[in-house]
Structure 1
């Protein structure tokens, strides 16, 4: 079931991810680095506000939807009421901030940011609903439509000279139209009604610590752009964000696809079979996460020159290549932490411990950024991010093992290192046989993927060999 659902969500999230590749290529060619830098600052600011204000509600929906599926409309009514109770005051505060901001350009961008925050938060709540309901097709329709519309609308506006506001308006339109097309029917018959005090207390007790954790994770993955803007300039933010997004977000997309399919299966196993069943499911999930993180990261680094030249605009390339390998492996460590080690706290309903791991990582990241950026520029920011994620992952692994009975790490790490070394090495060798960028990328990607899949079969990753032999005996 894990592999089948992963394939479903690969289509549902992978195709929009390819569109995001195209968006990065479009915007780094149509926007100047300083314009892309302003856009990146808006995205990271909206992301922080989204995490602080609305992430807890999405987490509650994902964790407890299955337990309340027999009273669906009543449960969703509580979710809707909670969303509105946050959205209304946030709108007023955001508009007030925009009006008093001294810079006219940023006044306009802040107004757009408020609208984007609400649209994005509501859209992502609907994605969580589709995921919790194990509806990968609906998930794919929502995310695919949003990705396509954002690049069409945003790219068109960028070509017309809208500057930094072009991709922001594109995102707003894409979120809204995607929900209207595919999401509204899930809320038919749902009336907002705040849940009872006991239910609300339990939801907040679960969601708020995770919200703090995600906010602290944002400090690790997003505050570097604000610090670069403060210590350097908006142009440096633009070139850093282009390379960072290509490296980090692409690998995290792959890992998120796996987790999108895997986490509901772990919750389902826990609800129906208890901790032993959840541990077995986590063993399969974790092996797939480790292999994808390490093998995917190795392959991505091996093909970095080809990927960067194809995707990133000329003004951004040299900086992107400089930070690329550091950010790729930061993404691999971040994914392993978020989608394996941190699950111990979520399944064990002890999410408060995530605050500690996040706080240590955030503090480390801030201190290292402030120390390294003045001397090493954006490369120092990449080093700080990698170090912070390593620290937080180690702490999460140690503490999580005391909260929930997690599967053994040895086999996961061993298989992942073998597969990663083989697939990354073969991809590098194959790509080096061609002078053409496209030929090198395609040959390296195909060779690395084939070798990686064969290695996965030989090592029986996530039980793939056993399942295939059972389905196709003889």
Structure 2
């Protein structure tokens, strides 16, 4: 079931991810580095506000939807009411901040940021509903429509010369259109009504510690852009964001696809079979996460020169390539932490411990950024990010064992390192046989993928060999 659902979500999230990949290529060619830097700062600020005010609702929906499926409309009515209760004051505060801002350019961007925050938060809540309902087709329709509209409209406006405003407007419209096309009917018959005090207390007890955790995670992944803008300039933010987003978002997309399919299965196993069943499911899930993170990271680094030249605009390339390997492995560590180690706290309903791991990462990241950016520029920010994720992952792994019975790490790490070494090495060798950038990328990607899949078969990752043998023998 895990592999089948992963394939479903690979289509549902992978195709929109390719469109977002193309969007990076479009915007780094149509926007100047300083304009792309302003756009990146908008996304960073909206991301922080989204995490602080709305992330907990998505987590509550994903964790407890299965347990409340017998009273679905009542449960969603509570989620809807809580969303409105948060959205109204947040909108008012955002408008006041935007209108009081002294810089006319940033005043307009802040007004758009308020609209982006609300539409993005509601859109992501609908994605969580589709995921919790185990509806990958609807998930894919929502994601795909949003991605296509965002690049089409945003790219057109950027071509017309609207600068940093263009991609923001494209995103706002994309969220609205995708919901109207494929999301609204999931809320038919749902009337907003705040949940009872006991229910609300349990939801807040689960969601708020995770909100603090994700806010602290944002400090690691997003505050570097604000610090670069403060310590350097907006142009440096633009070139850093281009390289960071290409490396981090592409690998994280693969890991998120796996987790999107895997997490509901772990929750379902826990609800129906208890801790032992959840541990078995986590063993399969974790093996897939480790292999994708480490092998994918090795392959991505091996093909970095080709990927950067194809995707990133000329003005961004040299700086993007310098930070690329560091960000790739930071992403691999971050994905393993978020999609494996942290699940101990979510399934064990002990999310308060995540605050400690997030605080350690955030504090170390801020300190290292302040220390390294003045001397090493954006490369120092990449080093700080990698170090912070390593610290938080180690802490999460150790503390998680006290909360939930997790599967052993040795087989996961061993298989992932073997597969990553072989697939990454073969990809690098194959790509080096060609002078053409496209030929090198395609040959390296194909060779690395074939070797990686063969290694997964031989090492029986997530039980793939046993399942296929059973299926074909039957």
Which category describes the TM-score, using the shorter chain as reference length? over 0.9
In 2, Cα distance between equivalents of 1:219 and 1:256: 20
* Residues 56-71 of structure 1 aligned to structure 2 (within 5 Å): 56-71=56-71
* Residues 81-230 of structure 1 aligned to structure 2 (within 5 Å): 81-230=81-230
- Equivalent residue number for residue 381 of structure 1: 381
**How far apart are 1:473 and its partner, in Å?**
1.4
* Residues 330-409 of structure 1 aligned to structure 2 (within 5 Å): 330-409=330-409
SS of the aligned residue for 1:206 comes to helix
In 1, Cα distance between equivalents of 2:7 and 2:340: 19
**How far apart are 1:213 and its partner, in Å?**
0.3
- Equivalent residue number for residue 468 of structure 2: 468
In 1, Cα distance between equivalents of 2:109 and 2:293: 35
In 2, Cα distance between equivalents of 1:72 and 1:431: 51
How big is the alpha-carbon RMSD for the aligned residues of Structure 1 and Structure 2?
A: 0.5
> What are the superposed Cα offsets for residues 70-129 of structure 1, whole Å, 9 maximum, x if unpaired?
101000000000000000011110000001000000000000000000000000000000
**How far apart are 1:422 and its partner, in Å?**
0.2
- Equivalent residue number for residue 307 of structure 1: 307
- Equivalent residue number for residue 443 of structure 2: 443
**How far apart are 1:231 and its partner, in Å?**
0.1
- Equivalent residue number for residue 16 of structure 1: 16
SS of the aligned residue for 1:402 comes to coil
- Equivalent residue number for residue 25 of structure 1: 25
**How far apart are 1:320 and its partner, in Å?**
0.5
- Equivalent residue number for residue 321 of structure 2: 321
**How far apart are 1:366 and its partner, in Å?**
0.1
> What are the superposed Cα offsets for residues 264-298 of structure 1, whole Å, 9 maximum, x if unpaired?
00000000000000000000000000000000000
- Equivalent residue number for residue 264 of structure 1: 264
- Equivalent residue number for residue 75 of structure 2: 75
SS of the aligned residue for 1:349 comes to coil
Structure 1: unaligned runs, 5 residues or longer: none
**How far apart are 1:8 and its partner, in Å?**
0.2
SS of the aligned residue for 1:102 comes to coil
**How far apart are 1:185 and its partner, in Å?**
0.2
SS of the aligned residue for 2:405 comes to coil
In 2, Cα distance between equivalents of 1:447 and 1:429: 9
In 1, Cα distance between equivalents of 2:191 and 2:248: 39
* Residues 37-56 of structure 1 aligned to structure 2 (within 5 Å): 37-56=37-56
> What are the superposed Cα offsets for residues 156-205 of structure 1, whole Å, 9 maximum, x if unpaired?
00000000000000000000000000000001111000000000000000
In 2, Cα distance between equivalents of 1:317 and 1:359: 33
In 2, Cα distance between equivalents of 1:350 and 1:117: 28
SS of the aligned residue for 2:473 comes to coil
Is 2:237 aligned against 1:237?
yes
SS of the aligned residue for 2:401 comes to helix
